Structures are given as structure tokens and as C-alpha cells.
Chains A and B, each alone.
Chain A
């Protein structure tokens, strides 16, 4: 598994490639830990290049959603059909703190909405 980061409208995007399993899920957990600790409201994982995820990886997503609760959401971009099915089985896709996007443009629109709402509050 490889992880690289980029930014989308000020939100950290983690691009993951390869297989996420029990042997390496800890690295993904450490990666998302930084924005979580910093208090970021939105975290995005681009899973386009992930061909396998197991409960070790799913648990990192679940715990990220839990930690973002009442604060924001975790977005996942373009998981393949198999990965997506696992996320559905564990109930992630119906969680209010989880957003599924088919591409980055969709994710960007959702982030802009958050930014718009914040500006509206001020």
C-alpha cells in the first residue's frame, strides 16, 4: 500500500494505492491521525487505486467517521465495486458522517458546500 497526499479546496486528500489489510492499516490510521488531531472537519480518501480492503482497513474508516462525528465527515472517492460492497456490508455508506463520491469533482462540490455554510454562519 502506498499513500500520497494532495489538497482539494483546503481539504487534505489521501490517495491510497494497492491493498489495505491488517499488515498495513496502521499506516493509514497514522496518516489520517494528523488532520483528525488538528481538528479538520473533512477528510477525503481517494480509493480509486485500491483493489482490496479488509476489516483492518475498514476499521480505520469507521474510527475516522467516529472521530469526525458532530464535526464533519469522511469522504471516499471512487472505490471499486468490491471495496464499495464491503463498505456497504459494514454499514458505512448509510452513516451520516460518511460520503461516497464517484469522482473528485463531486467531492469538491461537497467541500464547497461546507465552506459556503461556514461563511454563512459568520
Chain B
């Protein structure tokens, strides 16, 4: 892999626990500062990544880990990949949570330019969130 392929790449791993959502958000804030993101982009990323992490934490088993990896591509796409060791669930497990958990994915879709969810070859699920920096894509949406 050449250096030009990924102009920026960082990664953190945290224990899959709701208390660590703050740490995930601080990580996104650092990335936003590093990349000098403008306007709503930084906040949108923070919400979307935190939602993906919350979902992963809910569906991961105890003692599991969550991995967040960010890559800025040469074409100015910024992608966060949130990987866990569990299965992604679109619908909430418990009906009483219907108001909350069901909102995570719609928020990710509303705030990001591209949302992909796929199963990892080694098990677990990855949610990939992409924002086109510069805003051209978003303004036409």
C-alpha cells in the first residue's frame, strides 16, 4: 500500500461498554481537529460514529472490543469503520427500547453521505460511515 493511498489513517480500540462512548467521541473530535474539518462535518461525524459504536456495544457480548478506524482517501472521502465482534441488529431487541435504538441508523443515514454495514470475514460486524469532505456531494443531496 503506498502512502498516497491513505493520506490519513488512525485507529483506536476500546472495550465494548457504554461508558466508552465518550472516548470514541473524543477520538472523533481529535480527528476533526487534525483534519481541520469545517462547518457541521465534525459534529455530524461525532454523532454518526457514536451511534454506530452504541449499536455495536449493544450487540457485542461481554468482554468484547470495539475497533474504530478512520481513513482519509485521496479523493477527500473520509471513512470511519466501526467494527465489533457481534451481529448488527436493525430492530431493537426489547420493545421498550423501540424509541431509542431504532433511531441510530436513520441518524447515521441522515448525517453521512454513505453508510455500509457488512459482516467481517473473521466474524463480527463493521459499520462504514463516509463523508465527502468539501460538501459538494451534500449540497446536491
Contact = CB atoms under 8 A, between A and B. Distances in A.
Interface of A: 19, 21-23, 25, 52, 54-56, 58-60, 62-63, 66, 82, 85-86, 89-90
Contacts of A58: 100, 103
Given A59-B100, A89-B110, A54 B19 contact: no
**Chain A interface, >50% SS class:** helix
B104 interface: yes
A59 B58 CA distance: 16
Classify the secondary structure of B's interface with A: helix
Given A19-B22, A54-B54, A63-B99, A90 B40 contact: no
Nearest to A55: B103
Nearest to B53: A22
B46 A23 contact: no
22 contacts: A19-B22, A19-B25, A21-B54, A22-B54, A22-B57, A23-B21, A52-B47, A54-B50, A54-B54, A55-B100, A55-B101, A55-B103, A56-B54, A58-B103, A59-B99, A60-B99, A60-B100, A63-B99, A82-B43, A85-B40, A89-B111, A90-B107
